[in-house]
Amino acid sequence: MSKSTYDEPRPTISADLRRAVNVESGHTCAIKGCAEHTYLEIHHIDENRENNTLENLVLLCDKHHKMAHAKVIDRKALREYKKLLSDNHDSQIIDKIEELKELVQGQKNSQPISEPTDSQPVDEHIKRLAPKRFEILNFALYHVAIAHYEKSHNLYFEHQVEYVKGDSKLMLDALRQDDDLPEDIIIEVQYFRKPYMDAPVYGSWVEKKVELYELLTGRQARGVLLVIVGRERMASGDYLNLTRKGVEDCSRNISIEVYTCEEVGFHPGAISTAMFQSNLKSS
């Protein structure tokens, strides 16, 4: 007989662990084919109430919980159901990441950026490594813009937050995880150098990141698409119609804020280091 001393007080299951069990099951009974999502209870697979690990906890409806205690559903079967849940949850995460990759890659392919010539040293054993100029400047712009958002809303964020599970990764430009707020807040930053960058896909990016975040953490979240425009006139009129429409079409709580480079106090300037080569020649 397992250590199931039900006469003793039940050890507390933490809120984070309880949330993880619910998220893993999709807030429904873990038994395949059972769609009950109202009256749910957490069951200890080995019937040891002190063993509060995620691997030992499974979400069951009242009917299946009673069947588990009566051994109609044995421990081996419960562990199999638990494995199916875990595999399905991981599969959802992988699917969402692949969808996000496709969205991002499709948009990048439609916006080619000219790159300077990459000359290597004469000695073949020496490698010349340098990040792309636009990547460094955009990174600086993104975090200056987030700081501007923080001051405007009197909310402070973690920057460059990364969630990793196996080979799957989720990178967030900024995250406010706060139990005192109704939802956590995820910020996705995009810099529009020219009007042609306006597109409906950016809202979908934020939405996918929110979905992934909720799958990985079990917490509710909303998304903010923070757009910085390179020219002041792009902040008004019809310049961002497609982007705004993409945000409006999202089924989740996604909003958009638009800043100019002048507002945030930083402008990345030229994209290519080839311009510096021209400056050197002319001087």
> Tell me: the pLDDT tens digits for 133-173?
778 888 899 999 999 999 999 999 999 999 887 777 889 99
Domain segments of the chain: what residues?
Answer: 1-110, 126-264
Lookup: tokens for 269 = 């300037």
Strand 221-229 and strand 254-260: the pairing is parallel
Say what the pLDDT of residue 59 is: 92
Contacts 24+ apart (CB under 8 A), 274-280: 274/114, 274/116, 274/117, 277/116
Mean pLDDT of the chain, nearest integer: 82
pLDDT given for residue 2 in this prediction: 46
Distance CA 240, CA 204 (A): 15
* pLDDT, average across residues 57-64: 92
Is 90 exceeded by the pLDDT of residue 253? Answer: yes
Phi, psi values for residue 62, rounded to 5°: -60, -45
pTM of this prediction?
0.62
Nearest C-alpha neighbor of 150 from the set 259, 240, 230:
259
Pick from 7-16, 42-51, 112-121, 221-230: least confident: 112-121
In this predicted structure, the answer to whether residue 32 has a pLDDT above a threshold of 60 is yes
202-246 pLDDT, tens digit each: 999 899 999 989 888 889 999 999 999 988 899 888 899 999 999
Q: What is the mean pLDDT of residues 4-16?
A: 70
Taking every pair of Cα atoms in the chain, the longest distance, rounded to a whole number of angstroms, is: 87
pLDDT of amino acid 1? 43
Q: What tens digit of pLDDT does each residue of 79-113 get?
A: 888 887 766 656 666 666 666 666 666 665 655 55
| pLDDT band at residue 130 under the 50/70/90 scheme | confident
> Hunting for tokens 């044995």 — which residue is that?
74
Domain 126-264 has CATH 3.40.1350.10: yes
Are 133 and 273 in contact by the 8 Å Cβ rule? The answer is yes
For residue 116, pLDDT beyond 90: no
Q: How confident is the model at residue 4, as a pLDDT?
A: 47
Mean pLDDT (whole number) for 23-29: 84
What percentage of the chain reaches a pLDDT higher than 70?
A: 78
Query: Which is more confident, 123 or 38?
Result: 38
Answer whether residue 52 shows pLDDT above 50: yes
Which runs of consecutive H residues, i.e. helices, occur in 123-240?
Answer: 133-153, 201-217
Instruction: Report yes or no: 65 and 41 within 8 Å, Cβ to Cβ.
Output: yes
Place of tokens 């995250």: 175
